[in-house]
Amino acid sequence: MEMHQVRYFLAVARTLNFTRAAEECHVAQPSLTRAIKLLEGELGGDLFRRERPHAMLTPLGERMFPLLKQCYDRAQSARALAAMINDGEVGALKLAVSGSIELGLILSHVNELRKSFSEIELKILRGTGPQIVEYLKSGDAELAVGTSIGETWDRLDSWKLFDECFDIVLSRSHRLGSQETIDLDDLKPERFLLRNHCEKCGDLAAMLRTQGLNADHRHEVSSDQDLMTLLDANIGIGFLPRTVNAPQSLVRTTVKGLELERDVCLYGVAGRQRTPIAATFIKCCAPRTGKKGPVESYFNASVNSSIVMRLR
């Protein structure tokens, strides 16, 4: 059974007209008829009943239509994928990144992506956790980077990029700014700065409350830039994920009893077919446990085992 035979069959099944199908497939009608006859020979029966100028599907034809279409579509997309990879012609990577994540954190993955595609196009959208879920739902973004957004919508696939803890950040001129260690009691009279754009904001407030600290009368910001500005002016005490940079003028430390962690993950909508660039980006973001891709793993394993064989 060959691809062109299946293509012609699908064209006749769709148009119900041998002449029109031949035109669509850019072949002479006798060639198309001959190909369909070969297919009928292989399937052991007629696929069409000809009532000139029309053609009707026989019961066998009707049964085989969805099966052959499924197989053909799969082969077509394989062919298209190969062409895209080889020509370096790919669509854009549409990525929604949570406001609490610095873009620099995924740059190494983006660079990895550039090894597979000669030209890449990036479309970066920003938003809070709920906003980036909306981008995924609407298709404005194909993938998203954030934390804990899987908890708001269960139709997400996720791949963990890394986990990190939060530091306490305050101005050097704060009364606690030059203290060796800060403990919970020191923080009792303090007001905190919470980042609204951070998915962990709620958890943070809850943790403060549990430790008897002032969670309700607090400052709130919607960007890290604003956080730094306020901290610089010695307004409040803030929390920052370890990977988010802060100027040297601020003090970063940890406080026992105020431990908060987050998992930063890559997200995609479950069940949706991925574009080649998105599929490759997912592969590039595979957990950084030193795990190699499947091809590298296979070859490393083979080489190692053959070395062992020779040594024996």
Partner 1 sequence: MIDRGRVGPGLGELMPEFSLPDENGQLMSLSSLLRFGPAVISINRGHWCPYCRLELRSLAEIHNEIVRLGAGVISIMPDSARFTGSYVAQNDLPFPVLSDIDLGYSLLLGLIFWVGPEIQQLYKEAGVELEKYHGNQGYFLPMAAKFIVGRDGRVKARQVNIEFRERMEPQTLIATLQQLRIG
Least gap, CB of 287 to partner 1 (angstroms): 12
Residue 40 CB, shortest distance to partner 1, in Å, is 11
As a whole number of Å, the CA-based R_g of the chain is 30
Residue nearer to partner 1 on the CB measure, 125 or 279 = 279
Question: Do the Cβ atoms of 258 and 211 come closer than 8 Å?
Answer: yes
Minimum CB separation from partner 1 for residue 291, in Å?
A: 10
Contacts of 95 (CB under 8 A, 6+ apart): 122, 123, 124, 125, 141, 142, 143, 144, 145, 281
Q: Which is nearer to partner 1, 86 or 225 (CB)?
A: 86
* Least distance in angstroms from the C-beta of 74 to partner 1: 3
Asked if 102 and 266 touch (Cβ cutoff 8 Å), the reply is no
How far are the Cα atoms of 9, 17, 142, 171, 251 from residue 234, in angstroms, in the given order?
A: 75, 79, 40, 5, 11
Instruction: Note the residues at the interface with partner 1 (CB under 8 A).
Output: 1-3, 6, 42-44, 64, 67-68, 70-79, 81-82, 85-86, 279, 283, 293-295, 298-299, 301-303, 305-306, 309
CA dist 126 and 169 (Å) reads: 24
Where does residue 166 rank: exposed (0-12), middle (13-18), buried (19+ CB within 10 A)?
A: buried
User: Least CB distance from residue 241 to partner 1, whole Å?
Assistant: 30
Nearer to partner 1 among residue 14 and residue 292 (C-beta): 292
Judged by beta carbon, residue 217 or residue 295, the one nearer partner 1 is 295
Using CA atoms, how far apart are residues 217 and 1, in angstroms rounded to an integer? 73
Q: Which is nearer to partner 1, 42 or 89 (CB)?
A: 42
State the nearest-atom distance from the C-beta of 277 to partner 1, in Å: 13
Q: CB-wise, 152 or 159, nearer to partner 1?
A: 159
